[in-house]
Chain A
Amino acid sequence: MTARNADTSGLLERLLPSIVIAVFILGWELLVRWRGIAPIFLPSPSSIAEYLMRMIVDGSLGLNLGATLVRIFVGFGLAAVAGVTLGILMGMSRIVARVANPWIAALYPLPKVALIPLLVIWLGTGEAYKIVISAVTAFFPIVISSYAGIRQADRGLIKAAKDLGANRRQVQLKVVIPAAIPSIFAGLHLGMGVTIILVVAAEMIGGAGHLGMGNLLITAGQVMETEKVFASLVVLAVVGAVVIKSQQWIDRKVAPWMTVRDEY
């Protein structure tokens, strides 16, 4: 193959995902127009875009999305601080691990949405309930990954550090915790994923008069504003992708060695 051919095929490969998306949207548009499908079942991409624009202009999207994002970050933040702290403590102290383990074993597999009725009784349907349900759900993958990361720290590195004169505290701080970072980050990724899911789910139960993407979705659905439902889904998908991508970006900034360690 000539160099020029290689260039064009490389370019094609990079453009292909965008092309597939464009073809999909165009096909969808054509299908809806050609078959005359009622917008209540399947609105066309162009009308979804129109609704989206309207939601942006009248400010309703900003308000609802803002409320959802605040809940996601507060819930995730609480879960991250509590989960990483407890995970590290468990990894460093056998007593803490012994005490915490049965609780985690019992509560982790419990579907957290099953807690919704109880939380609504205790906390009502306001902010506290939405944040608590998402934080509780995100807490478990974070604490489990952090604990595993600390426990799986490379014995060889610990021995080497001791040999070079590190005391117990220095070994923990300078070797065990940094060695656990990839695992802790993996836990934070999982935690962020479930936080987004749980916040939106919790908002759906919140009832009318509350802000949030979940609420927007459910009210639009109830009055069969299918365009609005689709517009909200598009927004959620894009926001989710942006959040996950920025997490990956932060990983690379904070721990660049994670990406180079497997080069050899």
Chain B
Amino acid sequence: MDVIVEDVTKVWPGRHDDDVIALDKFSYRFASGRFSCLLGPSGCGKSTLVQIVGGLERATSGTVRIVDTQQAGTPRPLGADSVMVWQNLNLFPWRSVINNVAFGLEMQGVPKGQRHHRAKALIASVGLRGFEHHLPGQLSGGMRQRVALARALILERPILLMDEPFGALDAQTKIVMQEELLRIFDETRKTILFVTHAIEEAILLGDEVIVMTARPGRIKEIIKVDLPRPRSLEMVNSKAFGELFDRAFHLIREEVMRSMAQQARALEEQQ
């Protein structure tokens, strides 16, 4: 499934007439089976973009089309083929691990026995066997992240939308989760849109890094990452990785400086 974004603009209405343009005529074709990382300073509209792709926010103008490449380009309804993994996870705190993971199937009306059977298998595959009946509040951050991943994967949607999913994890847990995600990508070859503000993470995971400008969000540059798969963390020390990092770093540095200048100006105007 390709995700075709055309001229998508998103304007958040302000209280007075200070509307915020989060995305400005963003166009890109996210190719099927590719791992695309969206990298940009905070507030550049990258989260908004994936939510629009997932059908959870409406674009102010422009279109997003999900196209099945195998079926002669038939357009599909937004949200039907994708599932989101959120930065703050959004696990249901009153549901046990198994009932969180099985939530999507429950909404489809899959009988309890069947959905629990599938949820158990997924829970085991993310290394949480034995924690089926724990509540999210009883788990560590990394374990909760695995639950969120399993809850998304159970629906077997071809497109995975990830909004800074590892942003809140500590450094060690983050590494383990990145390896886990690489393994899942190699096994399933889903189309992944991965939002991050961590340069290293974007290069380690992605086939391409889409560097975005500070608000309003546009594409600044696209960096192709031609590191071989399966990827591993050791590649971080390679020369190729270092060169990609430097390139992305200089691009993002400009944008972060611009973003900070914007924020400073906005503060001055308030005073």
Interface residues of A (CB under 8 A from B): 154, 156-157, 159-167, 170, 174-175, 178-179, 181, 255-257, 260-264
Out of A165, A175, A181, A264, which one reaches B104, CB within 8 Å? A165
- Taking a contact as CB atoms closer than 8 A, the residue among B54, B93, B108, B151 that contacts A261 in the complex is B93
Chain A at the B interface: SS class: helix
Q: Contacts of A163 on B, CB cut-off 8 Å?
A: 54-56, 79, 83-84
A159-B56, A163-B54, A178-B94 as given contacts; A261 in contact with B86, CB under 8 Å: no
B88 within 8 A of A: yes
CA distance in complex: A175, B55 (Å): 19
B92 near A264 (CB under 8 angstroms)? no
- Asked if B151 contacts A264 (CB within 8 A), the reply is no
Task: Say whether A161 contacts B103, CB under 8 Å.
Answer: yes
Flag whether B140 is at the interface (Cβ < 8 A). Answer: yes
Q: Which of B153-179 contact A (CB under 8 A)?
A: 155
Complex Cα gap A179–B94 (Å): 8
Q: B137: CB under 8 A from chain A?
A: yes
CB distance from B118 to the nearest CB of A (A): 14
Task: List the count of A-B residue pairs having beta carbons below 8 Å apart.
Answer: 63
Question: What residues on B are CB-neighbors of A181 within 8 Å?
Answer: 94
Q: Are B138 and A164 in contact (CB under 8 A)?
A: no
Chain B residue contacts of A165, Cβ below 8 A: 104, 107-108, 155
User: Of all chain A residues, which has the CB nearest B104?
Assistant: A164
Assess the B151–A156 pair: CB atoms within 8 A. Answer: no
B-side contacts of A166, CB under 8 Å? 103, 107
Nearest-neighbour CB distance to chain B for A51, whole angstroms, equals 48
Minimum distance in angstroms from A260 CB to a CB of chain B: 4
Q: A159-B51, A261-B93, A261-B137 are in contact. List 9 more A-B contacts (CB 8 A).
A: A154-B90, A156-B88, A157-B92, A159-B90, A163-B83, A165-B104, A256-B135, A257-B93, A260-B138
Name the A residues within 8 Å of B62 (CB-CB).
Answer: none
**Nearest chain A CB to B170 CB, angstrom units:** 12
Do A167 and B107 have beta carbons less than 8 Å apart? yes
Is the Cβ of B94 less than 8 Å from the Cβ of A257?
yes
Given contacts A165-B104, A167-B107, whether A160 and B86 have CB atoms under 8 Å apart is yes
- Docked pose: A160 CA to B140 CA in angstroms: 20
> Which B positions have Cβ atoms within 8 angstroms of A?
51, 54-56, 79, 83-84, 86, 88, 90, 92-94, 103-104, 106-108, 135-138, 140-141, 151, 155
Distance in angstroms between the alpha carbons of A164 and B103 in the assembled complex: 7
A257 touches B86 (CB 8 A): no
**B103 / chain A contacts, CB cutoff of 8 Å:** 161, 164, 166, 174
Enumerate chain B residues within 8 angstroms of A262, measured Cβ to Cβ: 137
Q: Roughly how many angstroms separate A262 CA and B88 CA in the complex, as a whole number?
A: 15
> Are B107 and A164 touching (Cβ within 8 A)?
yes
Complex contacts, B106 vs chain A, CB 8 Å = 174
Give Cα distance in the complex from A260 to B86, angstroms.
Answer: 21
Q: Which residues of chain A are near B90, meaning CB under 8 Å?
A: 154, 156-157, 159-160
B135 and A260 within 8 A (CB): yes
Measured CA separation A175–B90 after assembly (Å): 11
Instruction: Verify B137–A264 contact, CB threshold 8 A.
Output: yes
A159 to chain B, nearest CB (A): 5
Q: CA of A157 to CA of B93 in the docked complex: distance in angstroms?
A: 10
Residue of A nearest to B88 (CB): A156
Check A164/B94 contact, CB under 8 A, given A257-B137, A260-B135, A260-B137. Answer: no
Tell me the complex Cα distance, A248–B135, Å.
20
A263 with B137: CB separation less than 8 A = yes
Neighbour of B141 across the interface among A179, A257, A264, CB < 8 A: A264
What are 10 of the A-B contact pairs (CB < 8 Å)? A159-B90, A164-B83, A164-B103, A164-B151, A165-B108, A174-B107, A257-B93, A257-B94, A261-B93, A262-B137
CB distance from B49 to the nearest CB of A (A): 15
Query: What residue of chain B has the Cβ atom nearest to residue A154's Cβ?
Result: B90
> Chain A residues near B51 (CB, 8 Å)?
159
The residue in chain B whose Cβ has the minimal distance to the Cβ of A159 is B56
Bound CA span A162–B58, Å: 14
CB of A228 to closest CB in B, whole Å: 47
Given A160-B90, A166-B107, A178-B94: A264 and B140 interface contact (C-beta under 8 Å):
yes
Bound complex: CA of A59 vs CA of B106, how far in Å? 55
Bound CA span A48–B268, Å: 71
A160 to B51, CA, bound (A): 11
**Distance between Cα atoms of A14 and B9 in the complex (Å):** 62
Question: Which of A164, A174, A175, A264 counts the most B-chain CB atoms under 10 A from its CB?
Answer: A164
Question: Which residues of chain A have C-beta atoms less than 8 A from B108's C-beta?
Answer: 165
